[in-house]
Amino acid sequence: MKKIYYSLFALSIMIGMTACSPGKGSAPASDNTILAESKAPFGAPEFDKFKIEDYKEAFDYGLAQKRADIKAIIENTDEPTYANTIDALELSGKSLDKVSSIFFNLNESENTPQMTEIEEYVTPKLTELSGYIYMNDTLFGRIRTLYDNRENLGLDEEQMIVLDNYYQSFVRGGALLNEEDKATLLDIDTKLGLAQIKFSSNLLADNKAFKLVITDKADLAGLPQGVIDAAAAEDGSWVFTLDKPSCIPFLQYADNRALREKVYKAYYGRGDNNNQNDNKAIIKEILQLRQQKAKLLGFESFAHFVLDEKMAKTPEAALDLLNKIWEPAVKRAAEERAELQKIADREGAGIKIEGWDWFYYTEKLRKEKYALNDEVITPYFKLENVLQGAFDCATKLYGVKFVKRNDIPVYHPEVSTYEVLDSEGNHLSVFYTDFFPRATKRQGAWMTNFVNQRNICGENVRPMVVNVCNFTAPQGDTPALLNIDETRTLFHEFGHALHGMLTQTHYPSVSGTNVKHDFVELFSQVNEKWAVHPEVMPTFAKHYKTGEPIPAELIGKMQQSAYFNLGFETTELVAAALLDMKMHLIEDYSNFDCNEFEKELRQELGFIPEIEYRYRSTNFAHVFGGGYAVGYYAYLWAEVLDCDAFELFKEKGVFDPATAAAFKNLLEMGGSKDPMREYRKFRGADANPDALLRTRGLI
């Protein structure tokens, strides 16, 4: 997942990335640790020196500096030019960008009540500044003058795209509204920002609140010893949480059905417990505010508003793709359910398969069909080896090298840093990895930037990128061992990281992963394909004790099982995308109840009851706590591209230099070129949606 969490900042103040000269805001205290010039290698953030009490002052200074930079553009009496308007916007707000990129990153992985309080303090200020920028008639007038005359300005393609992005962002930000409606929009955005913070805080708190404490060893029956060891507490009990490395193995292996049900319902019921962390009312508030915003800006629904600037363009186009996948996915899932029921019947379980049985009997079926389970697979996927495998693939494909650095400050002892070099040894990026769960870290996996790439104003600044995950941590003498899903996740997030690290644009607002939302997942999802390719896997999958490469026989079994359980996996994914899309197509939320809506959508879709939405509304952080609202479909939209793209690699060779060089061009261009035109250049044709269905074994 490409994380766009400080979405309020990223959306409303996308224009502040760096500056050639200091802004005019009042100077902060000379000892402010956040804003102080870094003496670390490459100017990396000096996390070891930061003080939490300095954030508010740093934000206040950055906000004032940004406002002063914008004010100077507004008050410029010269005729608008690209340099004195667009370049100036791109160069504004250096300090605000610095503190925002640091704070909002850390707030996801090092969250504390103090950090949440700071977020609540600054969010309305960011919204107010957004209104000052996007609703200023004079500033918009300068941009509009350039936009209307754009064909006569001698601009290159990147400059044309940046100008178009600004014009559209101002229009979508309310520039064409009257003063009363501008004030209303600003109020809506402020309330939305605070509601999304509350949603995320509630979800994190509800996730942390659940603990299954087992004191009777008999209740551990079926669990692998490694899972038991990971759950062992100092008092002799065993504790299981809702973090995926804890709860998923429990659902897969625990023989105690009642406890599986308890964990299953707790995981899917996060945010829906009628307690202080309940998210149902917040969801209704967010949806109402989003619809009000869409209507104010002239759109039928929030879904129409969001998709207007995406490759899909309309809800109908996105729904066409989702519906095309849905029918074969549900059919396959029903066949899988029947197989699981047969196992339960054969064992005399005397049950009808339920959601909390699916993972459990799936593992039994996997072992029966392919002699595969995590106990067989994970010893070959030591985290360090998998990461090195991802590095080696990038080296073979794109010529980049990774050098471990111990002199770059980190924000937690578990974080590692690397310098990334191009084929000639030139510095490309700093890369951070943060792989293990913590109480202060939200669930999931994501990539983001501490510093964005830019090559403007005579300053060539290379990016600083981080991958954050929640993998099973080392236990005693046993290193961190990944299952195949975690291995794919590492390659997935590393694909996003490569997109951020290899970028070669001029303007920061189109660098790296600053591309259309339904294009960004192409690079992460295609990178997963190398993780499980039989030519690649033996190069990094080596037994953590013996160092022996993974046997060809085991790879063969994994290849044979490639379509295993894909009906379930596709159904839960498409269901979540449909839930996201259809929730945002409603025009009147006065009687909306998210639980009732989920039930009604199930009936409409013919959604088999043993499978849950991948995320239910009350814990759908992508949609209600991040920047993926009306965006979850993008994983499947981009999967059409990545499956189609990898078919070319399979045809030419997975490390074919010419194919890799052509794909590297897509990675480097960021958002500076038309994505579908460039994809067609790479592939020689439009992407074929059947490639996705073939890859998932649905045709």
Helix (H, G, I), strand (E, B) or coil at 16: strand
pLDDT at 21 over 60: no
Identify which has the larger pLDDT, 408 or 560.
408
Q: What is the mean pLDDT of the chain?
A: 94
The dihedral region occupied by 415, where left means phi > 0, alpha psi between -120 and 50, and beta the remainder, is beta
Closest CA to 135 of 147, 124, 143, 123: 143
Closest CA to 611 of 331, 241, 346: 331
Note the pLDDT tens digit of each residue in 412-467.
Answer: 999 999 999 999 999 999 999 999 999 899 889 999 999 999 999 788 999 999 99
* Order of strands across the sheet that contains 401-405: 401-405, 416-421, 427-434, 464-468, 446-451
Q: Could you give the CA distance from residue 514 to residue 532 in angstroms, rounded to a whole number?
A: 28
> In this structure, are residues 105 and 47 in contact, taking their beta carbons and an 8 Å threshold?
no
β-strand partners of 2: 447
Question: For 567-573, what is the mean pLDDT?
Answer: 97
> In this structure, are residues 357 and 344 in contact, taking their beta carbons and an 8 Å threshold?
yes
CA distances from 563 to 113, 329, 641 (A): 44, 12, 19
Round the CA-based radius of gyration of the chain to a whole number and report it. 25
Note the pLDDT tens digit of each residue in 120-140.
Answer: 999 999 999 999 999 999 999
Note the pLDDT tens digit of each residue in 659-690.
Answer: 999 999 999 999 999 999 999 999 999 998 89
pLDDT at 11 over 60: no
pLDDT at 293 over 60: yes
Question: For 152-178, what is the mean pLDDT?
Answer: 97
pLDDT at 594 over 80: yes
Q: Could you give the CA distance from residue 105 to residue 467 in angstroms, rounded to a whole number?
A: 11
Note the pLDDT tens digit of each residue in 262-292.
Answer: 999 999 999 999 999 999 999 999 999 999 9
Q: Could you give the CA distance from residue 471 to residue 490 in angstroms, rounded to a whole number?
A: 9
3-state SS of 95-137 is: HHHHHHHHHHHHHHHCCCHHHHHHHHHHHHHHHHHHHHHHCCH
pLDDT at 22 over 80: no
Q: Could you give the CA distance from residue 468 to residue 496 in angstroms, rounded to a whole number?
A: 11
Question: For 151-157, what is the mean pLDDT?
Answer: 97
Note the pLDDT tens digit of each residue in 300-359.
Answer: 999 999 999 999 999 999 999 999 999 999 999 999 999 999 999 999 999 999 999 999
- Dihedral through CA 617, CA 623, CA 626, CA 632, nearest 10? 130
Confidence at residue 317, expressed as pLDDT on a 0 to 100 scale: 96
Question: For 571-590, what is the mean pLDDT?
Answer: 97
Q: How long, in residues, is the chain?
A: 699
Question: For 618-639, what is the mean pLDDT?
Answer: 94
9-23, 341-355, 645-659: range with lowest mean pLDDT:
9-23
pLDDT at 24 over 60: no
The H or E element that residue 331 is part of is helix 315-346
> Which domains does the chain show, CATH number per domain?
7-134+136-172 (1.10.1370.40), 211-269 (no CATH), 379-559 (1.10.1370.40)
- Rounded to two decimals, what is the model's pTM? 0.89
Q: Could you give the CA distance from residue 124 to residue 113 in angstroms, rounded to a whole number?
A: 18
Confidence at residue 23, expressed as pLDDT on a 0 to 100 scale: 45
- Report how far Cα 43 is from the mean position of its chain's Cα atoms: 26
> Does the active-site annotation cover 493?
yes
Confidence at residue 12, expressed as pLDDT on a 0 to 100 scale: 37
> In this structure, are residues 300 and 294 in contact, taking their beta carbons and an 8 Å threshold?
yes
Note the pLDDT tens digit of each residue in 198-236.
Answer: 999 999 999 999 999 999 999 999 999 999 999 999 999
The H or E element that residue 160 is part of is helix 157-172
CA distances from 582 to 330, 614, 631, 633 (A): 18, 15, 12, 11
Residue 511 CB burial class (10 angstroms; 0-12, 13-18, ≥19)? buried
Confidence at residue 459, expressed as pLDDT on a 0 to 100 scale: 86
Q: Which candidate in 90, 285, 363, 493 is catalytic?
A: 493
Please, which pLDDT band fits residue 5 given cuts at 50, 70 and 90?
very low
Q: Quickly count: other Cβ atoms within 10 Å of residue 623's Cβ.
A: 26
Question: For 143-151, what is the mean pLDDT?
Answer: 98
Q: How far apart are the first and last CA of the chain?
A: 27
Note the pLDDT tens digit of each residue in 174-208.
Answer: 999 999 999 999 999 999 999 999 999 999 999 99
What secondary structure letter does DSSP report for 381?
B
pLDDT at 141 over 50: yes
pLDDT at 568 over 60: yes
Confidence at residue 17, expressed as pLDDT on a 0 to 100 scale: 35
Q: Could you give the CA distance from residue 654 to residue 560 in angstroms, rounded to a whole number?
A: 20
Please, which pLDDT band fits residue 608 given cuts at 50, 70 and 90?
very high
> In this structure, are residues 16 and 92 in contact, taking their beta carbons and an 8 Å threshold?
yes
Q: Could you give the CA distance from residue 240 to residue 389 in angstroms, rounded to a whole number?
A: 31
Confidence at residue 7, expressed as pLDDT on a 0 to 100 scale: 38
Confidence at residue 2, expressed as pLDDT on a 0 to 100 scale: 66
Note the pLDDT tens digit of each residue in 310-327.
Answer: 999 999 999 999 999 999
Closest CA to 59 of 126, 139, 140: 126
Instruction: Take residue 443 and report the two structure tokens written for it.
Output: 């669930």
